[in-house]
Amino acid sequence: MGLRTDGRSDAFGARKGDQMRNRQVLIADDEETTRHILHTTLIHWGYDVTVCKDGAEAYRILRDPASPPVALLDWNMPGMDGVEICGELRKERDTATKYLVLLTTRSNKEDLVEGLRSGADDYVTKPFHMGELRARLLVGTRVVSLHSELAQHITELTAALDKVKRLEGLLPICAYCKSVRRDKGYWEQVDKYFSEHSSVRFTHTICPSCLDKHCEPLGTGGPV
């Protein structure tokens, strides 16, 4: 199973807010020296790191929607290689937005095009230039943050649209008392109904016609 390298016992660690979660990175490489260098470096940069020794293990973990949103994947690994992992993750709705970076010794343009077409977002060639690796990780975390913010906005808009839809169509209202009939068959005041189903808030007053009809003039001793 994936090895937590920050000393915590839980699988991925409960994080408060998306900002912390976007600092989670999975590293998958079958070469121990590379894993150690990447692990040590990313921890120093403030990332929360999960390490895998082969592709099959990395794919199993990354299929979980709660797994790290950013992954560094070696191109050549036993079980599944990085290109295969990218292709499979892009097929699944829950994992399609993960930011996937291929690690490779290949510099041939055709190979790199193949990797990007498989679903990788980026690639870093070995041996690593640490400044380049850090910059590409920052790009990845920014993209993941934007995806997260967009998803939140979509959720809010969907909820708002649902409220609007509930106010569409025919609304049964009593011709005498002006109460509104709800879906479950019971009646309530129109101001309460709209307050619960929209952002409308009512403030009560008296129109001139009702003032003349229902209220005694001030000073006559009648109700106001």
Q: Coil, helix or strand for 12?
A: coil
Q: Which comes out higher in pLDDT, residue 156 or 192?
A: 156
User: What is the spatial distance between Cα 174 and Cα 182, in angstroms, rounded to a whole number?
Assistant: 12
177 confidence band (pLDDT: 50, 70, 90) = confident
- Please answer whether residues 163 and 197 qualify as being in contact, where contact means their C-beta atoms are separated by less than 8 angstroms: yes
C-alpha angle 120-94-3 in degrees, rounded to nearest 5: 70
Domain range summary for the chain, segments of one domain joined by +: 3-157, 168-224
Element (H, E) at 89: helix 82-90
Residue 217, pLDDT above cutoff 70: no
Please enumerate in sequence order all residues whose Cβ is within 8 A of that of 77, keeping only pairs 6 or more positions apart, or say none: 28, 29, 30, 54, 55, 58
Q: What is the pTM of this model?
A: 0.63
CATH of 3-157, one of 1.10.800.10, 3.20.20.70, 3.40.50.2300, 3.40.50.11540: 3.40.50.2300
Mean pLDDT of the residues in the chain: 80
Intra-chain end-to-end CA distance of the chain, in Å: 76
Higher-confidence residue: 198 or 1?
198
53 vs 29: CA distance, rounded Å: 5
pLDDT in tens, 68-116: 999 999 999 988 999 999 999 999 888 888 999 999 988 788 988 988 9
Among 35, 38, 28, 43, residue whose Cα is nearest residue 77 = 28
pLDDT at 15: 40
Q: Looking at residue 133, what DSSP letter applies?
A: H
| Mean pLDDT (whole number) for 13-33 | 75
pLDDT band for 168, please (50, 70, 90 cuts).
low
Tens digit of each residue's pLDDT (9 = 90 or more) over 109-154: 898 898 899 999 999 999 889 999 999 999 999 998 887 788 777 7
